[in-house]
Structure 1
Amino acid sequence: MAESKRIALMVTCIVDQVMPEVGMAAVRLLRRAGYTVEFPQEQTCCGQPFFNSGFRERALPLVKRAIEIFEPYDAVVAPSGSCTTMMRAEYPHLLEPWPDWHARAQALAAKTYELSEFLVHQAQWQPQANPHAPRVTYHDSCHMNRMLHLHDEPRSLLEAAGCTLVEMVDPGRCCGFGGIFSVRMPELSNAMTGEKLRRAVATETDLMVTADPGCLMQMRGLAEGLRIEHVATVLEELTR
């Protein structure tokens, strides 16, 4: 059982607006790991869309608001590698010119975790194997894989839950989402997505799993006959 601490769920915009089941699954998993989870109702966007578009000044109010909302908690957990990267890597960098805010950003960054990372390293949660677990292939999102260097964590949880993992060719190849990239260059983005989906289908597994809602939204939009799920919903279903 985990120590009693105040854990906040940073739900992310896509989860909140498009796939709330991912947020609910994340809360259930954290509770099964022994934590009390709170959902700050006043939370908004982490500021990443503005930041990635080059509008850093417009991102600042959202960044400062997020710091104010989440700094009272002992840990902040997000079911998204990209939003975790924004809060952990970019907040301190963005606020360097303001020493007080920079220190607060560093403090928040030190206690912000991607969901699978938190379950493995902080909660040390080990799911029981489900004999009916599917064969899966896993897609590494760019931010999570390259910025946070999280590769084994979601895989270890899926395998512990009983899944047979079949790696596709180059699982870290970009799915084509890239946030604003998919809007600015849709033809190139969709071509990249198509290639990713072909590689997933070639594994002949039951479904593809990812830990980033943006990747999930992008790939689901073009998938035909391929089931794609967030790691949180897969783990939650297998460990009921």
Structure 2
Amino acid sequence: MRVGLFVTCLVDLMRPEIGFSVIKLIERAGFEVVVPPAQTCCGQPAYNSGERALARDLAEKTLREFEQFDYVVVPSGSCGGMIGVHYADLFRDDPDLMNRYGRVQAKVHELTDFLLNVAKIELPRGEFAGPVTYHDSCSGLRELGVKEAPRALLAQKGIAVTEMKGCEHCCGFGGTFAIKYGNISTAIVDEKCENIRASGADTVVLGDLGCILNIEGRLRRTGDTTTRVMHIAQVLTEGL
């Protein structure tokens, strides 16, 4: 079966190694992975900023590029939430688009949900060094219900998760929120970084690159040069 990988703008432009890890995992589960080369943004920044016309144009483009696949997999809760939830709002006045989207919507999965619940992947135990803690991204948790899947996959690898205080609390990124409300965003991410340190883990694992960039950036700017901040796909592919 064919999986269309929506690789996301941030992964494509800033951390392509995450994308290669994602491909390795999906292929290991026995699926063919296709990355449509013309894909761009899912439209979330425009949608969150009230630019509905632009967001809808991008949503239609994404729909055209991905409706051919058996599954659509997204290694990001925020982009996954946009495609899997909010496109319904953008297409609500167009019955044809809603019908097409309805067929695609059921096939959209966040990466860890797909690996565990659809592909039912079995991962070998590894030798990942050091304790880890997990940050639940807002969109993945609240829009897509992703909570247990990443932890179950880490357990397959023999990686124990030390839960931090406020693991479900926002990291302060929120896309354009971090730009518009920088002082509030900084206060939120400072609390997140303190909770990471207090957990005693030397690695924080998560499933959304926006959160990774925000948390890692703040850790480094406040003098923490050792705590690793990793996408779960990178952790799951170690040793494969």
Matched residue SS, 2:89: helix
Q: Is the 8 A contact 1:133 1:162 kept in 2?
A: no
Q: Is the 8 A contact 1:133 1:161 kept in 2?
A: no
1:39-93 deviation digits (Å, cap 9, x = unpaired)? 1101110101000111111111110000000000111101001111101101112
Counterparts of 1:17-96 in structure 2, within 5 Å, are 17-96=13-92
1:133-165 deviation digits (Å, cap 9, x = unpaired)? 531100000001111111000011011111111
Match of 2:122 among 114, 117, 126: 126
Q: Is the 8 A contact 1:166 1:205 kept in 2?
A: yes
2:102 paired with 1:101: no
**Could you tell me how far apart the structure 1 residues matched to 2:101 and 2:88 are?**
5
Structure 1 residue ranges, 4+ long, deviating more than 4 angstroms after superposition: none
Matched residue, 2:107: 111
**Could you tell me how far apart the structure 1 residues matched to 2:108 and 2:17 are?**
21
**Could you tell me how far apart the structure 2 residues matched to 1:201 and 1:100 are?**
50
Aligned-residue offset at 1:206: 2.3
Matched residue SS, 2:238: helix
Question: Percent identity over the alignment?
Answer: 40
**Could you tell me how far apart the structure 2 residues matched to 1:105 and 1:131 are?**
42
Kindly provide the amino acid, as one letter, of the partner of residue 183 in structure 1.
I
2:146 paired with 1:150: yes
**Could you tell me how far apart the structure 2 residues matched to 1:85 and 1:132 are?**
30
Aligned-residue offset at 1:27: 0.2
Q: Is the 8 A contact 1:134 1:164 kept in 2?
A: no
Aligned-residue offset at 1:181: 0.3
Stretches of structure 2 lacking an aligned partner (at least 5 in a row): none
Matched residue, 1:230: 231
TM-score after normalising by structure 2: 0.95
Change (3 A) 1:125 1:134: farther
Matched residue SS, 1:92: helix
Kindly provide the amino acid, as one letter, of the partner of residue 231 in structure 1.
I
Matched residue, 2:173: 177
Matched residue SS, 1:137: strand
Kindly provide the amino acid, as one letter, of the partner of residue 199 in structure 1.
N
Kindly provide the amino acid, as one letter, of the partner of residue 227 in structure 1.
R
Computed over aligned residues only, the root mean square deviation of the Cα atoms, in angstroms, reads: 1.0
1:165-200 deviation digits (Å, cap 9, x = unpaired)? 100012001000001100101111011111101101
Stretches of structure 1 lacking an aligned partner (at least 5 in a row): none
2:193 paired with 1:197: yes
Q: After the TM superposition, which of the residue ranges 30-39 and 128-137 deviates more from structure 2? A: 128-137
**Could you tell me how far apart the structure 2 residues matched to 1:82 and 1:30 are?**
20
Across the two proteins, how many residue pairs are aligned to each other? 235
**Could you tell me how far apart the structure 2 residues matched to 1:86 and 1:116 are?**
17
Aligned-residue offset at 1:108: 1.3
